[in-house]
Amino acid sequence: MTLLVTGCAGFIGSAYCRYVLKHHPEDAIIGLDALTYSGNLSTIADLQESSRFSFVQARIEDEAAVSDVVKSGSVSAIVNFAAETHNDRSILEDADFLTTNVIGVSKLLKVVRGCGVQKMVQVSTDEVYGAAPHGKFTEDSPLLPNTPYSASKAAGDLQCRAHFKTFGTPVIITRGGNSYGPFQYPEKLISFFAVRLLQDKKVPLYGDGSQVREWIHVMDHAAGIDCALRSGTPGEIYNIGTENERKNSEITRVLLDLLSKPESLIKQIEDPRKGAHDVRYSMDSSKLRSLGWKPQVDFDRGLRETIAWYDEHESWWKPICDRPEYQQFVARFYGPGLGEDL
């Protein structure tokens, strides 16, 4: 089949394309991406070498453009990774989050219905459930998002539910945990800290770093999404978690260890997310596991390989870190704590 993968030039979307090209030799992919600040052609250079991959630059809110791609490419399934994804950026300004994560999703759902696409997967996040001080979220847990980012993702999920109920649009939602691996834009905990430590720069630990996240390697996340696409039921939601729960402070110390850097590079800063910094995320993923998926990558090995990848791929991340937009964001958000010029 031909898949339309939206958000293909980002972190998880590009990993998903690699996964499909490797595991489904009969499939072709049309990758679509707006190439926002976090989408990079350098991330998909290897994919572009495949005759089974082609790339289109467009925004998912552009219903006419996406419809044209779907019709001319005889697309049978859409997997949507396109999103604004950074909590901290959503605290500064949420307009793009609402445009892409809510309106964009509703436009894609209209394309699915209008063009007779057989299945769509909406890639969502555990953050829509809000904090889990105890226990685990199931797919039936209430949506209690706490940041503008997670609220926009929850609104996208509700668009999916409504289109399934109202029109029978064949959409599946996946909710994955915190992902790590190669090609992650250097703004999330592991990728941001790795590139800063590699440059002997300080890393900002929010508060005491006691927030707990459920970490999943990006290829395990990609495999989970693929399992939901091929074996899941339209209208259903599937959590994709690992039960690998780690405190941010623990991750930070492991990164220092792996890179042989001193503790003095940790700068504890006042939590910019204030009350919205969820203390813990944790999911019950037995529903997806019952379809045959399970995580394969051991966390210690995955983290070691990921840090080695950033060490070896300065040519990928340094041009991003040198962009004025990137430096302005870091200085504006963390400036006083990290000693960066404002």
Ligand X SMILES: NC(=O)c1ccc[n+]([C@@H]2O[C@H](COP(=O)([O-])OP(=O)(O)OC[C@H]3O[C@@H](n4cnc5c(N)ncnc54)[C@H](O)[C@@H]3O)[C@@H](O)[C@H]2O)c1
Rounded to the nearest 10 degrees, what angle do helices 218-231 and 11-23 cross at? 60
> Which is nearer to ligand X, 196 or 214 (by Cβ)?
214
What DSSP state is assigned to residue 316? H
The verdict on 129 binding ligand X (CB under 6 A) reads: no
Is residue 127 part of the annotated active site? The answer reads yes
Q: Between residues 85 and 211, which has the closer beta carbon with respect to ligand X?
A: 85
Instruction: Give me the catalytic one of 16, 19, 149, 185.
Output: 149
Selected binder of ligand X within 3, 9, 111, 222 (CB under 6 A): 9
Q: Are 5 and 30 in contact (CB under 8 A)?
A: yes
Q: Is 34 in the site for ligand X (CB under 6 A)?
A: yes
Sole binder of ligand X in the list 59, 163, 217, 261 (CB under 6 A): 59
Q: How far apart are CA 197 and CA 289, in angstroms?
A: 36
**Which span (58-66, 67-75, 198-206, 317-325) binds ligand X, by CB under 6 A?**
58-66
Q: Could you confirm whether 37 is annotated as catalytic?
A: no
The stretch near ligand X (CB under 6 A) out of 4-12, 20-28, 132-140, 160-168 is 4-12
103 vs 291, beta carbon nearer ligand X: 103
Under DSSP, is residue 205 helix (H, G, I), strand (E, B) or coil? strand
Least separation in angstroms between residue 15's CB and ligand X is: 8
Out of 70, 77, 82, 283, which residue is the one contacting ligand X (CB under 6 A)? 82
Q: Least distance to ligand X from the beta carbon of 10, Å?
A: 2
Give the Cα separation of 194 and 185 in Å (integer): 11
Q: Kindly tell me which residue out of 31, 145, 148, 176 binds ligand X, with binding defined by CB under 6 A.
A: 176
**Judged by CB under 6 A, does residue 203 bind ligand X?**
no
Q: Of the two residues 50 and 57, which places its CB atom closer to ligand X in the complex?
A: 57
Tokens of 176: 């994955």
Among 1, 21, 35, 258, binds ligand X (CB under 6 A): 35
13 touches ligand X by CB under 6 A: yes
**Residue ranges in 168-298 assigned as alpha helix (H):** 189-198, 218-231, 248-258, 286-289
Of 4, 60, 111, 297, the one binding ligand X by CB under 6 A: 60
Identify the three-state secondary structure at position 2: strand
Catalytic residue from among 126, 220, 226, 245:
126
68 is catalytic: no
Q: How far is the CB of 342 from ligand X (least distance, A)?
A: 25
Tokens of 278: 């969820």
Q: What is the identity of the amino acid at 105?
A: V
H-only helix segments in 271-323: 286-289, 299-312, 314-321
Which of 3, 4, 7, 173 is the binder for ligand X (CB under 6 A)? 7
Beta-ladder partners of 205: 268
Asked if 7 and 84 touch (Cβ cutoff 8 Å), the reply is no
Buried b (16+ CB within 10 A) or exposed e, 75-88: bebbbbbbbbbbbb
**Is 38 a residue that touches ligand X (CB under 6 A)?**
yes
- Can you spell out the DSSP letters for 295-306? --S-HHHHHHHH
β-partners of residue 238 are 174
Angle at alpha carbon of residue 163, lines to 160 and 164, rounded to 5°: 85
Tell me the two tokens of residue 115.
Answer: 């063009």
Residue span binding ligand X (CB under 6 A) among the ranges 75-83, 271-279, 323-331, 333-341: 75-83
Task: Give 83 or 171: the residue with its C-beta nearer to ligand X.
Answer: 83
Which residue, 173 or 205, has its beta carbon nearer to ligand X?
173
248 φ/ψ angles, rounded to the nearest 5 degrees: -60, -35
Q: Which residues bind ligand X (CB under 6 A)?
A: 6-7, 9-13, 33-36, 38-39, 59-61, 81-85, 100, 104, 123, 125, 153, 176, 178-179, 185
Instruction: Please list the active-site residues.
Output: 126-127, 149
